[in-house]
Chain A
Amino acid sequence: MAVKRQGVREVGQGKGRNRAGMGSTYQSTHKEADSERKSNPPSGDRSGRRPSKKRAPRAEGAAGRRGAQPGQKERVGGSPGPGSPRRKQAERRRHREELGEQGRSSAERTCTERRKKDGRTSLKEQRAPSKKEKEVPRKEETWKRLKKHRSPSLASSASVGESLSEEELARILEQLEDKKKLIATVRSKPWPMAKKLTELREAQEFVEKYEGALGKGKGKRLYAYRMLMAKKWVKFKRDFDNFKTQCIPWEMKIKDIESHFGSSVASYFIFLRWMYGVNLVLFGLIFGLVIIPEVLMGVPYGSIPRKTVPRAEEEKAMDFSVLWDFEGYIKYSALFYGYYNNQRTIGWLRYRLPMAYFMVGVSVFGYSLMIVIRSMASNTQGSASEGESANFTFSFKMFTSWDYLIGNSETADNKYASITTSFKESIVDEQESNKEENIHLTRFLRVLANFLIICCLCGSGYLIYFVVKRSQEFSKMQNVSWYERNEVEIVMSLLGMFCPPLFETIAALENYHPRIGLKWQLGRIFALFLGNLYTFLLALMDDVHLKLSNEEKIKNLTHWTLFNYYNSSGWNESVPRPPLHPADVPRGSCWETAVGIEFMRLTVSDMLVTYITILLGDFLRACFVRFMNYCWCWDLEAGFPSYAEFDISGNVLGLIFNQGMIWMGSFYAPGLVGVNVLRLLTSMYFQCWAVMSSNVPHERVFKASRSNNFYMGLLLLVLFLSLLPVAYAIMSLPPSFDCGPFSGKNRMYDVIQETIENDFPTFLGKIFAFLANPGLIIPAILLMFLAIYYLNSVSKSLSRANAQLRKKIQALREVEKSHKSVKGRTTARDSEDTAKGNYKNATQLQLTKEGTTPHSASQSQTAGKKAQDPEISSSASRITLPVSQHLPVSRPPGVRPDSGQPRPQTHPWRSASGKSAPRPPH
């Protein structure tokens, strides 16, 4: 603070010094300004001999304002008083009188030249200060009035630095915020890269330089540290984001496919990837909570009958043909329901395995439902905003129809063709929207097509029914041939192979847009598959019921075998007989495991059929077409066999139904999800390869609708349909008596009751019993219905309001359009004119003031604005004011230390306003 005092003392000598060393000071201040830019602005350690080092560039506004105080003017007269233009002029005049003109003109010339060098300024930049100038004087006066009441004697040099730095801090803080904002938004600025880079670097430099200064002493270091950490954190976050994008599995593969085949094919692969994610979660759930505890803590293999291969099967249990059918050792492993023991708790953790099994089975469905519905909801949210596609058909066609991701010339050709056709179609539509006979024809064709397809579906349904009936007869007979045993599967595969192409052929009659056509196709194949699935389920149910009816017999048999074994004669009564070997115990057929095996087989055979179809139908065909084309009568590539297109609808539906199988089967075969994960993984790679190697893009490339909610809707439907049989089995079929975690219970859900009774305190059991009361459940269901009804009506009214608003917007837009076409040009010209006028005014204004500090007007104004409040309120800063005003005096008159120099580019508009004032040379 002693330093400050020194500075104050020097004020008196200022004039002399100023007069003497003008040019040199000018130079030195420049150097100082430069050096200052490199160093942090400290708040109190400036020497009095270099007062401008810190304050000159920034605190000038404040200094100039103080210089205007009445009582001080005589003393301060020599100061360059950067302040309002009027005052500046007055000062200048006095200045000349006092100092004469010697030496000044030369310095000024340098200034002017320097300023001129800095180049042009934009219109806007010039206008701004000229407007502000008018406001300044008024502020100045209020300021003076305020100042009059303060006695200068209160001046305490101790707080000079603080008051200054306070204002400065406020300003720097603001600039800092600006710069930070700039750094954050530089991405979204339409600037060329070079400008972006320089601006960014500048802003970063500024921030780096000043953010440390905002804290003081210890806080400063802490602040710097915090900023450092924040910077590191931002960098880390960006790296992490990059990493995350890189971690999205198969992103590059899918992008590649998208560029070759358009987004519709890619949507299948995205769906496949999503499905893989869901299955991974399910796999984790089942594997972690059921299979691993059982393997680690359960009774080992071979200890009890359900965990042992029966004696009759033992010989062949390891044969590949048996294992391939999921019999033998695989059947008696943790992959299937029957392996699990009904022991209430296992291991030293006292893990309640049956309970866990049940809960996992329920939560598999719960999680799937939740995730499907959530992704559907998020898809609808995204697509809700673009409901106006019908409004601007041509506009959208023109500006959005090109898929900028296309990077393959074949696809591009197709895209060109499809765009041309769609344009032609739209034009025709537009021209002849009232074509009567055409519409009738299309309608007729569509009805016909639907009729044909319904016939096909009915026929296939009857065929399946017939075959299933026959197979039930075959199953009662003894030695049946291989064909008779597998008739149902063969017929179903054949139907699945031939019906979709048939549907597609028929759908050509309908002449839908491919996107809509794809949906119809999906719906039809869905119906076909559904029929297959339900015949399969019915056959399965018959089987289960048959097994259940046999169960009682086997139970008796087992009982009697054990009884006879222990009570048979010919054994020494004194030695307790070793227990019967588990492999010898007769056991029931365990319908749950049988069902699980069926699903497992179906999944594996489905996978194999898919792969073989791809290999034969796509890859071999492509090879044949490619290589036989050299020696064939006609052009194979363009003619009949050609290359295969990627069958989106078939693949999507295959995936969806496969998932339905998994959901149904996972309760009976916990290992099924693991198999499915493997299947999805392999099929991702295999299909990616197959698509890229042997398929051609669709003839009419079309964009997939961005939200694949249709797929999700189908998936939800399948999920619901596959939930039904499982729920039925849990609620109303008795579990097998000698296998699985629920053996010995009447129903599977009894495990919950048991847990509540044994493991929970009694009052909880009572509460549960109370909750299970139909008297409570029915009102709860009613309440839910009411809630659904209410929410539904609310959403309806909201959407109605939405539609109305949209209509209003459209009407407004139309009005605007009609206005704009008239007004548009005139306003444009007007604004140009006014702009020019402003520009002239501004230059004139600045021409008139021949002040040394052309840009101070705006500066003092902003500074004044900011400084006023704190100074009125805080006494500390009030006290310091009279002192601070002296500081500028030590500067040479007529020369602003930084006038010719581009200020630290952090406030370009200010320097610009300064530069743009051409002054007549003296």
Chain B
Amino acid sequence: MGSHGGLFYRYQDLAPQLVPLDYTSCPDVKVPYELIGSMPELKDNPFRQRIAQVFSDDGDGHMTLDNFLDMFSVMSEMAPRDLKAYYAFKIYDFNDDGYICAWDLEQTVTKLTRGELSAEEHLPHPHLRAPWRSRVRGGRRDPSLHCGIWPPRVLGINTRH
């Protein structure tokens, strides 16, 4: 972990009582999302929960050191654009169905504006409404029901690397 010394200490500082300083033997430590989300880099980000979910193993936002390093390496300036796009897609794909659907868009807008847009402004565009409603009624995560208006390929993102 020598080369990640700085980051490791960041990680360790988040939860000094949880994370041991000696990391050679016990790798199975997770820092809870509450602590991750309160980092200065993330605390003001509307998508912080989503980011933590995407990078955590189980999608619950609790992070191991590896997840933490992952997050920083993807978010760093050095990361290639395609990699960033890949993770950006994941972040905006709230329901993990591989498509940015109307529901995802709604989530995004709500997060971006803190729900300050009125209900009328919130409604999806008329030609999107039908599938959106059927999806809401269905209420399940069925890929055949997805209302993908922007499948990843259209956005130029290859989700399967």
Contact = CB atoms under 8 A, between A and B. Distances in A.
Interface string B65-87: 01101100101001110110011
Nearest to B68: A193
Contacts of B88: 399
Contacts of B116: 416, 420
A424 B117 contact: yes
Interface in A379-438: 398-399, 401-402, 404, 406-409, 411-412, 416, 419-420, 423-424, 427
Interface in A692-734: none
A419 B70 contact: no
Interface string B142-157: 0110001101001000
A243 B151 CA distance: 41
A190 B81 CA distance: 12
B134 interface: no
Contacts of A191: 161
B46 A402 contact: yes
A190 B73 CA distance: 11
A192 interface: yes
Contact of A188 (B43, B83, B112, B151): B83
B79 A398 contact: no
Contact of A190 (B44, B87, B144): B87
B99 to A, nearest CB: 9
A416 B69 CA distance: 28
Contact of B86 (A190, A194, A427): A190
Given A192-B70, A193-B67, A824 B121 contact: no
A427 B45 CA distance: 24
A419 B112 contact: yes
B109 A188 contact: no
Contacts of B40: 407
Interface residues of A, number: 35
B58 interface: no
A193 B117 contact: no
B93 to A, nearest CB: 11
A188 B67 contact: no
B22 interface: no
Interface in A168-206: 187-194, 197
Interface string B46-70: 1100000000010000000011011
Interface string B90-114: 0010000000000001001100111
Contacts of B75: 404
Contacts of A406: 44-45
B151 A820 contact: yes
A193 B143 CA distance: 29
A606 to B, nearest CB: 36
B67 A402 contact: no
A813 B88 CA distance: 22
B44 A424 contact: no
B113 A423 contact: yes
Contacts of B113: 416, 419-420, 423
B114 A820 contact: no
Nearest to A408: B44
Contact of B109 (A407, A408, A423, A828): A423
Contacts of A424: 117, 121
Interface in B17-50: 40-41, 43-47
Contacts of A398: 105, 108-109, 112
Contacts of B109: 398, 423
A419 B57 CA distance: 32
A244 interface: no
Contact of A193 (B69, B108, B149, B161): B69
A188 B113 CA distance: 32
A407 B87 contact: no
Contacts of A420: 112-114, 116-117
A416 B114 contact: yes
A789 B70 CA distance: 53
Contacts of B69: 193
A350 interface: no
Contact of A824 (B78, B83, B151): B151
Contacts of B82: 188
B44 A412 contact: yes
Given A398-B112, A399-B88, A427 B121 contact: yes
Interface string A808-834: 000001001100110011001100000
Nearest to A398: B108
Given A187-B79, A194-B66, A420-B116, A820 B44 contact: no
A192 B83 CA distance: 12
Contacts of A419: 112-113
Q: Most chain-B CB neighbours within 10 Å: which of A194, A408, A411, A424?
A: A194
A817 B154 contact: yes
A411 B45 CA distance: 11
Interface string A91-110: 00000000000000000000
Q: Most chain-A CB neighbours within 10 Å: which of B87, B88, B113?
A: B113
Contact of B121 (A408, A409, A423): A423
Contacts of B57: 192
Nearest to B149: A821
Contact of B92 (A399, A401, A820): A399
Contacts of A188: 79-80, 82-83
Contacts of A824: 148, 151
Contacts of B66: 192-194, 197
Nearest to B88: A399
A414 to B, nearest CB: 11
B70 A189 contact: no
A194 B73 CA distance: 13
A742 to B, nearest CB: 51
Contacts of A194: 66
A820 B153 CA distance: 10
A402 B121 contact: no
Nearest to B76: A187
Contacts of A401: 112
Contacts of B108: 398-399
Contacts of A190: 83, 86-87, 161
A189 to B, nearest CB: 6
A187 to B, nearest CB: 7
Contact of B43 (A409, A820, A828): A409
A409 B67 CA distance: 25
Q: Most chain-A CB neighbours within 10 Å: which of B112, B116, B143, B148?
A: B112
A407 B121 contact: no
Contact of A407 (B41, B78, B148, B149): B41
Contact of A423 (B41, B80, B92, B117): B117
Given A402-B46, A820-B154, A825 B144 contact: yes
27 contacts: A188-B79, A188-B82, A188-B83, A189-B83, A190-B83, A190-B87, A190-B161, A192-B66, A192-B70, A193-B66, A197-B66, A398-B109, A399-B88, A399-B92, A401-B112, A406-B44, A407-B40, A407-B41, A412-B44, A416-B112, A416-B116, A419-B113, A420-B116, A420-B117, A423-B117, A424-B121, A828-B143
Given A398-B108, A411-B44, A820-B154, 9 more contacts: A187-B78, A187-B83, A191-B161, A404-B45, A407-B40, A419-B112, A420-B116, A420-B117, A423-B112
The 5 A-B residue pairs with the shortest CB-CB distance in the complex, in nearest-first order: A412-B44, A193-B66, A420-B113, A188-B80, A193-B70
